[in-house]
Amino acid sequence: MAAIIFTVVIVALGVFQIAAAAGAPVGAYCWGGQHRGRLPVRLRVGSAASLLLYAAFELVILSRAGIIDLVPEPAATIGTWVIFGYSVLGIVMNGISRSKRERFVMTPVVLALAVLSLIVAL
């Protein structure tokens, strides 16, 4: 169940990143919140590139949970712990953001991803 919920959260985050990459005025919610409206091109490219990372996360989490069989078990186990660590780092980075919007919206999202990936890892 944790892997499925992780999938829902990461897909929602992916939709958000697609919107950011497409130029939606969501800059206050991502990348440090320095750009209140549309992100500059370099950060929009970063948002688009993050989708590849999210897809890799999904393959690892779903493989570790036994829902799919694309990532070998040792790699899925290690990868899930890496995702957990990455999520914990995300909690810290979003939590110290100067953007109040990013702190209050993205920190709980990344916290959820951390908890869910920890459950799958264990």
Q: Is the pLDDT of residue 93 over 90?
A: yes
Which domain range does residue 79 map to? 2-121
Please give the Cα distance from 102 to 59 (Å, whole number).
27
Write the pLDDT tens digit of every residue in 14-55. 999 999 999 999 998 999 888 889 999 999 999 999 999 999
Burial class (CB in 10 A: 0-12, 13-18, 19+), 19: middle
Q: What is the number of structural domains in the chain? A: 1
Indicate the pTM of the whole model.
0.90
